[in-house]
Structure 1
Amino acid sequence: MYGKVKKCPGQIETDNTFIKSTQHDFKSRKEAAEYFVNRAWGYYYHNKPDTAMMRFNQAWLLDSLNAGAYWGFANLTGQQGKFKESLPLFDRSIALDSLNANVWESASNSYGQLFSNTRQVEYLNTAIKYLRKSVALKPSARAYAALTAAYTYFAHKDSAIKYLKITDSLDKNAINPQVRKLINSNR
């Protein structure tokens, strides 16, 4: 989306040249977009956010309905500490592909950070809602651990204990020791 800045003629020409260059290597723009999303994630996980953003933008240029591009934009925006700004990008990704458990989990991180910064309970409730959606789609120790930690903010720890047991059944090392200590001190 290139920062939503109006492009000059030279940038538009560069975009058109790029799009044309992908026609030789891919059957469709959609396929090319998937390729660039996958490359972007590689850069993201190797802590090269500028290159990751460039690749996500290339994917978006090829297919503006690619859910992975929006997910990438959202993660990179959240990584910059712009949690509120990341939410519409997560929402767009979810609207395009509501069955990706990882997007729901990633979005919950932004809501969790907003709760941490503001202590507004609606952010915590939304983080929990998104984590529950994530584990319903694809159970993972990491998501259950986040759900367990989220429930520790409530006075009654019944849900935290419930999700601690589920997390432990998947991976006992997934729970932060501080979260475990907090839950066990209230029993």
Structure 2
Amino acid sequence: MKKIWLLPFLLILFSACAQSQDCPADINKLPMYGGVKKCKEQIEYDKEFLAAVDKAYSRREDAAKHMVQRGWQYLSAQKLDTAMMRFNQAWLLDSLNYQIYWGFGNLLGMQKKFKESLPFFTRSIKLNPKYTRLLNDASVSYGNTYLATKKQVYLDTAIILLKKAVVIEPKNAGLYAQIAAAYSYTPKQDSTRKYAKLTYRLDPNAVPQHLKSIANNK
């Protein structure tokens, strides 16, 4: 598989045209380009980008995987705008890759736009409903949305997602710990104790500090 050596040039081209008076600015820094109508120059950029990819890869899906990988790398390096650009390019190439929407969700979460991240996590989970880390990350955004809104539905959804995750990884103490912590915000303190104790059995060190007293209480 050849490298896309034209990519840096195309990125410069896109940055230039995005500043045009008739073009919506900075849409490459928004998930799915913000869902806005692109100007003529931006549409031409997409065509040139796709043409370059088609010359370098036998399948666009493979190029999308490369862009996703780069997106995660930039996300880990806290270069959020660049990460968003890579995930957007991946989306242009393969809109059925679940990691793209997962990446969008995490990027929004890192910007504390938790409620805005939820539709992207929902879409990602629909494409891949049995990946523990994805379910866990989605639960974090739902939990934070609950803390911001105090609407029970978000906390309930966070718990549902975590319970789906422990079905996949029944010995993951961290997941049980998060369920216990989530239940601690509800009147269901029997469930808090249940999951705190399950956490303790798997790994005493994973029990949240505020639940340690009930976790090892016989």
Q: TM-score w.r.t. structure 1 length?
A: 0.87
- Greater than 6 Å deviation, 4+ residue runs: none
Aligned to 1:64: 95
Q: Deviations over 1:132-180 (max 9, x none)?
A: 0112123433322211211222344332233223333444333332343
1:3 aligns with 2:34: yes
CA distance in 1 between partners of 2:57 and 2:207 (Å):
43
Aligned to 1:121: 152
CA distance in 1 between partners of 2:51 and 2:136 (Å):
35
Name the Cα RMSD after superposition. Answer: 2.2
1:89 aligns with 2:120: yes
Deviation at 1:186, TM superposition (A): 8.8
Structure 1: unaligned runs, 5 residues or longer: none
Asked if the contact 2:155–2:182 (Cα under 8 Å) also holds between the matched residues in 1, the reply is: yes
Aligned to 1:152: 184
- SS of 1:23's equivalent in the other structure is helix
CA distance in 2 between partners of 1:185 and 1:105 (Å):
25
Q: Deviations over 1:51-98 (max 9, x none)?
A: 111111011010111111011111111222222211111111111111
Residue 23 to residue 171, structure 1, CA distance change in 2 (3 Å): farther
Aligned residues: 186
CA distance in 2 between partners of 1:38 and 1:52 (Å):
10
Structure 2: unaligned runs, 5 residues or longer: 1-31
Percent identical pairs in the alignment equals: 49
Q: TM-score w.r.t. structure 2 length?
A: 0.76
Residue 18 to residue 5, structure 1, CA distance change in 2 (3 Å): same
CA distance in 2 between partners of 1:22 and 1:170 (Å):
47
**Larger CA deviation: 63-72 vs 99-108:** 99-108
- SS of 2:37's equivalent in the other structure is coil
Structure of larger gyration radius: 2
